[in-house]
Structure 1
Amino acid sequence: MKRNQAANVMTACVWAAAAMLLFPGPGRAGGFRTPAADPGAQENARSLATALLRSDVAKYLSGPGRSVLEMIGSDEPRNESLKAGHELWSGDAAPLGPSTVRVNDPGQDGYAASDITTQSETAVAAFGPNVIVVYNDSGQFETQSFEGYGRSTDGGATFTDMGAVPVIFPTAANYGDPAIVASRRGEFFVAAIAYNSTLLGSQFTISVQKSTDRGLTWGAPVYTPQYASGSFADKDFIAVDNTAGPSSGNLYVTWTNFAPPYNELPIVVSRSTNGGASFSAPIRISAFGSSNEGPEPAVGPNGEIYVAWFQYQGVGGAGIVMAKSTDGGATFGPPQFVTPVTPIGFGTGNLAGNFRANSFPRIDVSPVNGEVYMVFAGNPPGPDGADVFFIRSTDGGATWSAPARVNDDTGATDQWFPDLAVNGEGKIRVFWYDRRRHSDKPGDLLIDLYGTSSVDGGLTFSPNQRISHPRSGSDAGMIPAVGYDPYINPIYMGDYNDIKVDTTPTGPGLGFYSAWGDFTRIVRTDGGTRTDQDVVFARQDLTPALARGGPAGTSAPELATGDPNPKGPRTTINFVVGEAAAGPVEIGIYDVAGRLVSRLASPALSPGRHELAWDGRGEGGESVRPGMYFVRALQADRPVVCSTRILYMR
């Protein structure tokens, strides 16, 4: 049997084993009891869970949210059928990429024999050499916390699996959907869906816990107040103001609120102005009567707060909505419908492999100029089921660019779960799950992780690069890992991954820190052979070569604008043509709105250093205004190969 044939057979067999594992239903592995102080509180929580799961809005619940409610609604004993012990065998189907590190320790999955081994929904934050990755961890169920975390003190070179973020209170529980940020003081704040029968009664909200020793220990949970009676808080995110302004240090927590009579799903925000010691009563920022999910906050360089989310039903239809605050989160302006989106998965169908996905937006703000950027997955017209799109606002969210596709494949394969981050120089990094390498095999379910970068505010992006398993063969990749864990919804494989830049004492740093769900490891348990959900981490510093998508001078022209910068009335654009990039080169000059100002063309060029002159005039011969301009090098077979920026002065 040929190598490729053998690999394909292995892929098919492993997936078949995973797909045939029957989800045992709520509570079969033992109903996850609420840590109630009295039977009445526990019964109230069970009634809330049952009513919500029977409602029409249950399809919009996050994976952890639905799983928790299903387990709380069970009457079966918690540990009735669990079998302690590790898997019978495990191994990696392909090596992890260089500088890619597994965060969780599979050896700590004490109930792997019962297939309770899910780690997913990653969130990452870094300060100095300290990196913390939090994630959903079903193996920590005995601690009343679904929130595991790994800690690194060497910049992410190695990680220690620290177990669960402790809930501290015996009447409390953490139910996942983790989010984490680091402040300029080096404090880490982690948020999650929470329950405390003593403090909260039968209701659920969001907990925030603080670490002042770089994740070695965590303080007691501080709870956001409920938004409405009988609420279930879902899909939380958290942001911290790391500016030097009057709101510096403020924390902002967002979530979707599920409450009777379940005829709408509002987005709400709660803030802390005292370092997480307490949180304000949440305020609603979405339109009345609308149904929404997946809100994420981000803070701009002047302390302005943006919250973006996905609207399923409301004015404008399905799409991305945003609200903004300019007074430190005390109030928000009216919600703004940003762009329509045809959603993928999450109530509208699942991707191949029977796992669900979503079109929740991810948002970040440039600390350099305040531009606002979002990425999201959407279903474009035609046979392509899911692509990743980017939008930008250069006027504080008042107007937005048309969605631009980020993935540069030419097939109709799926791309989903994108995230982005902007570093202290304004450079952008985006990554997502991708199936392009397997487009010639319609039945192939293999998944990779791809990424791209922009150094011009999202006007252009570098050629996409494979991040996961970059040194592996054409048949290497990740096989969907769903349907095996009795504590997890059978079509759940996480709802998001995460990328952030490091935090420094003065604000955003330069390095990009990524964490994602990885399905490389294959395990064998009493239930059969399957892939497993783990968490991996990688750090990337956006060097010029990475921004261009390849080694300098090998496959694309290399722009070097020269000195001085600012430029005078006559500007010389210097660039280098590599061995593999010989041929005509076109230099485009663009203004900050992305409009073409001038085009400089060259004849066919040999490898080496070249220059083109620009006289400061536009396409019509008019003199351009002084200001910031972007320079892009283009070739016929490469729409955009590199870019830089110049400050033009007369």
Structure 2
Amino acid sequence: MIRSGLRNPHPGRHAAVWSGWILAFACADATATHSAFGPYISIQVYVDAAGQNITGDAANEPTMAINPLDPGNIVIAWRQFDSVQSSFRQGGWAHSQDGGSSWTFPGSLTPGQGRSNPVIDVDAQGNFYFQSLRFDEQGIYIEDIQVIKSTDGGRSWQEPVFAHGRGGDKGQLAVDRSGGIGDGHVYVNWRETGDDYCFTRSIDGGASFELPVGIPGNPSFGTMAVGPEGELYIAGRLEPSEWDEETQNRNHYRHIFSKSLDARDPDSIPTFTTRTVDIGGPAPLFNFRNNPNRYGPVGDVQVDVDRSNGPLRGNVYVLATVDPPGEDNLDIKFVRSSDGGETWSAPIRVNDDEPNKDSWQWFGMMGVAPNSRIDAVWYDTRDSGSYNVSRLYYAYSWDGGATWSKNVPVSQPFDTTIGYPHASQKMGDYSTLVSRRDGASVAYTATFNGEQDVYYLNVFPDCNENGVSDVLDIEQGRAGDADADHIPDSCETTPLAGDLDGDGDIDRLDIDLILAVRNQSASGPDDPRDIDKNGTIDALDARKLTLSCTRPRCAAE
């Protein structure tokens, strides 16, 4: 079991305390562009030229990608409402060249055009691709799905390219960065009603798209991921054939998983197989019992793949918000497959709160880091006891999702039922997480300013609670990792043999504890100072312990 002894520096508090905190925070600065909670700082993305909040607007459904050639170059896009009084949305975007510390918001990608459901991804050469639904000139119905390309780090964008010209909904996009025969392929799928033709691809870098093909089950309200060998995976919901207006559970769908092994082949017409996946509960689309997202979904089904060169390479992971049995409202559940989706693990509950009728975990986000760590972030009401007040919580796994870290809050609380654009009445449909080696980047919507704004947040594993990523602590010698499991030894539940002072390291201080009593008899067969177990604590024990030092030259610092 990982980190069962990890401490939570911010235990839950009474709902009234949280409510007062929210009010005090909102009144302190109505135009704040940064919101800090411990070491985690949410930075507003949708800001004016002076870096200040733009009042009277709204923004939701943020999507994000990071340039693989320049990790400091991040692009975030969203549904942009210039006025909270209007339901007209455009494609807003911002770019950062300093790893998310500051943002440039140039405006909408195509001013005056209605756009929704944006999704961004990036190819191996650092070209960004923006997919969205485009509305007719009156902004009433979806006319087509378009993809727009940027070759300069998201600073400017080319002319839109039609990916699908017959409407559609909930478009998704993924780009192959596998280095194989499909490298650079741009994949688009969408929710289609009436037929199963819901997938297309571009094999020429987004310059054109092929005729659409079908996917059995037409997975909807989900995401796509490309595996290390160019395999294409899609996870989503299987929608019922009829919408039952009378049944309260009409929003409960099944989870499904589709894959294609030939979409990567430019000479083949893509084909897919689909199977049902048990993620530990029905797949709610809307939660009609005090929905924290009002008239919006509770989050997209997440899929991602381990692309490392380690032992978990190729593992496929699915995470989703489910409606568990009993009075508990919503949970974040996770399953994994080590055989390309043919078989799946038993469902694992990621959120570690006690089941409660006033607890909603929703808008789950997931990513897999290059070093195989799985990151998960979600909206959570556990601390407020109210469906309308959420905050972000974070957990991670180093063992392929078999066990998860203790959940930690990473944002201030905020009311998700305020700041709605006119007629929208929701926080959008999703938020986005992209895992990095030392942490994860999150793009999410919050109402810290009393309106919907988009924020960038860097989260990271920090089991020793020093405000620095455990990955960096280990790499830079601030923490030992004797068993090479990515977890600082000081966080392990099993004491490190030879760590006589219990600080999680073997260093000069431990050797000194032996030398201070050298040539004395051991207190018994289990005396940790008697390294060679010969019954005497002597210089030989000190020399042997030196070979186990976890710091260079056994340095104490």
Q: What TM-score, normalized to structure 1?
A: 0.62
Is 1:297 paired with 2:236?
no
Instruction: Write the deviation string for residues 41-67 of structure 1: whole angstroms up to 9, x where unpaired.
Output: xxxxxxxxxxxxxxxxxxxxxxxxxxx
Cα distance in structure 2, aligned partners of 1:577 and 1:270: 61
The answer for the alignment partner of 2:483 in structure 1 is 561
Q: 2:65 aligns with which of 119, 122, 125?
A: 125
**SS of match in other structure, 1:437:** coil
Shift in CA distance, 145/314, structure 1 to aligned 2, threshold 3 Å:
closer
What letter is aligned with 2:120?
Answer: I
Which structure 2 segments of 5+ residues have no match? 1-13, 243-251, 486-493, 505-525, 533-557
1:383 has 2:327 as partner: yes
Q: Would you say how many aligned residue pairs link Structure 1 and Structure 2? A: 456
Q: Give the counterpart letter for 1:431 in structure 2.
A: V
Q: Deviations over 1:289-327 (max 9, x none)?
A: x7x521321100000000111113269x82211111111
1:399 matched to 2:318: no
Q: What does residue 346 of structure 1 align with?
A: 286
Gap change, CA 1:461 and 1:102, over 3 Å in 2: same
Report the Cα offset of residue 444 of structure 1.
Answer: 7.0
| SS at structure 2 position matched to 1:399 | coil
Instruction: Provide closer, same or farther for how the CA distance between residues 151 and 501 of structure 1 changes in structure 2, counting only shifts above 3 A.
Output: same
User: CA–CA distance in 2 between the matches of 1:8 and 1:573?
Assistant: 41
Task: Find out whether 1:465 has 2:391 as its counterpart.
Answer: no
Residue 250 to residue 436, structure 1, CA distance change in 2 (3 Å): same
Q: Aligned match of 2:366 in 414, 417, 420?
A: 420
SS class of match (2:353): coil
> Does the C-alpha gap of structure 1 residues 607 and 324 become closer, same or farther in structure 2, counting only changes over 3 Å?
farther
Matches within 5 A, 1:225-624: 225-226=164-165, 231-258=166-193, 266=196, 268-287=198-217, 293-313=220-240, 318-328=253-263, 330-339=269-278, 341-344=281-284, 346=286, 348-352=288-292, 354=294, 356-358=296-298, 360-368=300-308, 369-412=313-356, 413-438=359-384, 442-443=385-386, 445-469=388-412, 477-482=413-418, 484-486=420-422, 488-490=423-425, 492-501=426-435, 511-521=439-449, 531-540=450-459, 542=461, 560-561=482-483, 574=496
Distance 1:91 1:145, change over 3 A: closer
- Paired amino acid for 1:479: D
Superposed CA offset, 1:332-356 (max 9, x none): 2331111264233527555257453
Change (3 A) 1:234 1:5: closer
**Change in 2 beyond 3 A, CA 1:608/1:312:** farther
| Distance of 1:109 and 1:457 partners within structure 2 | 39
CA distance in 2, matches of 1:314, 1:558: 56
Distance 2:376 2:130 in 1: 23
Of 250-259 and 146-155, deviating more is: 250-259
SS at structure 1 position matched to 2:401: coil
Per the TM alignment, residue 182 of structure 1 is displaced from its structure 2 partner at its CA by 1.4
Q: Normalised by the size of structure 2, how large is the TM-score?
A: 0.71
2: CA distance, partners of 1:380 / 1:497: 22
Alpha-carbon distance in structure 2 between the residues aligned to 1:361 and 1:159: 29
Partner of 1:468, secondary structure, is coil
* 1:78-227 map, 5 Å: 90-92=30-32, 95-97=35-37, 98-105=40-47, 115=56, 117-127=57-67, 128=70, 129-139=72-82, 146-166=90-110, 173-195=113-135, 204-226=143-165
Q: Residue 501 of structure 1 aligns to which amino acid in structure 2? A: S
Aligned mates of 1:374, 1:402 — CA distance in 2: 12
Shift of 1:481: 3.6
Moved more, 120-129 or 330-339: 330-339
Cα offsets for 1:140-168 (capped at 9, x unmatched)? 8999861111111111111122211126x
* Partner Cα separation in structure 1 for residue 500 and residue 365 of structure 2: 32
Partner Cα separation in structure 2 for residue 446 and residue 324 of structure 1: 37
1:282/1:353 Cα in 2 relative to 1: closer, same or farther (>3 Å)? Answer: closer
Contact 2:34 2:41 in 1 (8 A): no
User: 2:381 touches 2:391 (CA, 8 Å); kept in 1?
Assistant: yes
One-letter code of the match for 1:298? A
Give the Å deviation of 1:216: 0.9
- Whether contact under 8 Å (2:81, 2:88) holds in the other structure is no
* TM-superposition CA deviations, 1:346-392 (whole Å, max 9, x none): 27555257453335311101002110001100110111100000110
Q: Corresponding residue for 2:512?
A: none
Displacement of 1:12: 8.3
Give the superposition deviation at 1:548.
7.7
Q: Is the 8 A contact 2:216 2:272 kept in 1?
A: no
Shift, 1:446, TM fit: 2.1
Whole-Å separation in 2 of the counterparts to 1:376 and 1:300: 19
Contact 1:431 1:452 in 2 (8 A): yes
1:24-35 superposed matches below 5 A = none
What's the % identity of the aligned pairs? Answer: 26
How far did residue 286 of structure 1 move?
Answer: 2.8
1:186 and 1:353, CA in 2 relative to 1: closer, same or farther beyond 3 A?
A: closer
Q: Secondary structure at the match of 2:82?
A: helix
Give a deviation string over 1:506-525, Cα, whole Å, max 9, x none.
xxx6652211111111xxxx
- Is the contact between residue 364 and residue 378 of structure 2 (CA under 8 Å) also seen in structure 1? yes
SS in 2 for 1:447: strand
Query: One-letter code of the match for 1:212?
Result: T
CA 1:451–1:7 in structure 2 vs 1: closer, same or farther (change >3 Å)? closer
Q: Which residue of 2 aligns with 1:643?
A: none
1:541 shift after superposition: 5.1
**Is the 2:121–2:130 contact (alpha carbons within 8 Å) kept by the matching residues of 1?**
yes
Distance, in Å, in 1 between the alignment partners of 2:288 and 2:101 is 40
| CA distance in structure 2 between the aligned counterparts of 1:609 and 1:431, rounded to whole angstroms | 45
For 1:4 and 1:94, the matched residues in 2 are separated by 24
- The one-letter amino acid of 1:409's match is D
CA separation in 2, counterparts of 1:101 and 1:433? 17
Distance 1:325 1:446 in 2: 40
* Unaligned residue ranges in structure 1 (runs of 5+): 16-88, 470-476, 503-508, 522-530, 564-571, 582-604, 612-650
Q: For residue 453 of structure 2, what is the amino acid of its counterpart?
A: D
SS in 1 for 2:435: strand
Contact persistence 1:428–1:454 (CA under 8 A):
yes
Q: What letter corresponds to residue 144 of structure 2 in structure 1?
A: T
* Deviation of the 1:424 alpha carbon: 1.3
Structure-2 change in CA distance of 1:210 and 1:577 (3 Å): farther
Q: In structure 2, how many angstroms separate the alpha carbons of the residues matched to 1:320 and 1:478?
A: 30
CA contact (8 A) 2:299 2:430 kept: no
- Give the aligned partner of residue 543 of structure 2: none
CA distance in 1, matches of 2:211, 2:157: 24
Aligned equivalents of 1:609 and 1:248: distance in 2?
57
Q: Which moved more, 1:245-254 or 1:358-367?
A: 358-367
